[in-house]
Amino acid sequence: MKYTGPTYRPPYEANSLLLQVTAGCTHNKCTFCTMYKDTRFSIESLEQVETDLREAKEVYGKVKRVFLVNGDAFVLSASRLKPIAEKVIEYFPEVEVITMYASINNIKSKTDQELEELSDLRINDLWVGTESGHEPTLDYMNKGFSLKDSYEQLERLNRAGIRHIDIFIFGGAGKGKGIENAIANAKLINASKPAGVSMTTMGAFGDSRLAQDVETGKFLPATELEVLEEQKKLIELIDIDTAYLGIHGINTVTFDAMLPRDREHAVQRVENAIKRLDKEFLDSVPERYSI
């Protein structure tokens, strides 16, 4: 199997076949991200994709879930994604889901008909980097799309029958704004009705613009107590049936839950952590070591 540069996938795709269709990330300008800084974006040839599928078939025999890498593989046009999906189905006719990371702009670039056609080819699940429903925070993150775009494009996925798991960042709004961020995030989640919400926590890594802004005082990071209070508030406000996916290693309190069914237990877990953790730690901004 061919992989170029760092290869990332959600924790929940640990048992999925990772099939490279792109390398790097087309945007590569997010304020907080350093994941693909040293990897030039490129598109894999269909011939190489088929070579990898042939190898995967020999090794695994049957595969039900395929995750297309890398950073925003859904940037590929529908005309490029369709033959890839067809090849996946040719080698693994039992496949149920073809998924990948996607940005809001990746969705925006496809017509309604193209989205439906991709869904029919089992590209029926996407991990979408929404990051925040709080407009000033989204602007600071430099994602390249607006909050209005998020609402519109996630609804287009719903109409096309494509499930989506939306990624959000605790602490993304900075010091003193966690509750605002939680309220705005819950509003977007309740409106867009994702199959799941995948939660991570803001960290200032490497030479990211965020790290530079923290150093100069332009961005004031949230304390750990603020992050946990934001986590609690978000769980309290989500009122649709969705999976809360929170086991990312960067989070202080890690667990999965089904909301709203498990709301009381989930809130209790966060409250227990606040009671248990040392006040000095809660009042600090702990260094994080993962993206």
pLDDT 10s digits, 196-209: 999 999 999 988 99
Residue 62, both tokens? 């049957």
Is 160 within the bounds of a domain?
yes
H/E stretch holding 35 reads none
pLDDT value of residue 10: 95
Residues 272 and 133 in one domain: yes
Same domain, 82 and 166: no
Q: What is the pLDDT of residues 31-45, one digit of tens each?
A: 999 888 888 999 999
Number of domain units in the chain: 2
Count helices and strands (H / E) in the chain.
11, 10
Strand order in the sheet with 255-259: 17-20, 65-69, 97-102, 125-131, 163-170, 196-201, 242-246, 255-259
Tell me: do 207 and 138 sit in the same domain.
yes
Query: Would residue 30 count as lying in a domain?
Result: yes
Residue 76 falls inside a structural domain: yes
For residues 250 and 218, the answer to whether their CB atoms sit within 8 Å is no
Q: Is residue 291 part of a domain?
A: no
Q: Is residue 287 part of a domain?
A: no
Q: CA of 237: how far to CAs of 158, 183, 232, 260, 279, in Å?
A: 21, 7, 9, 9, 26
Same domain, 79 and 138: no
Give yes or no: residues 104 and 133 share one domain: no
| Distance of alpha carbon 101 from alpha carbon 116, whole angstroms | 18
pTM of the model: 0.95
pLDDT value of position 290: 58
Find the CATH number of the domain harbouring 117: 3.30.750.210
Predicted local confidence at residue 74, as pLDDT: 98
pLDDT of residue 289: 74
CA 60 to each of CA 46, 55, 63: distance values in angstroms, whole numbers, following the listed order? 20, 9, 7
Verify that 214 and 265 share a domain, yes or no: yes
Q: Is residue 289 in a domain?
A: no
Rounded to 5 degrees, φ, ψ at 258 are: -105, 120
User: Is the same domain home to 133 and 252?
Assistant: yes
Q: Are residues 157 and 183 both part of a single domain?
A: yes
Intervals of the chain under pLDDT 50:
none
Are 111 and 64 members of one domain? yes
Please give the residue range of the domain that contains residue 110: 1-123
Same domain, yes or no, for 249 and 135?
Answer: yes
Same domain, 27 and 54: yes
Is residue 189 a part of any domain in this protein? yes
Query: For position 214, what pLDDT does the model report?
Result: 96
196, 220: one domain: yes
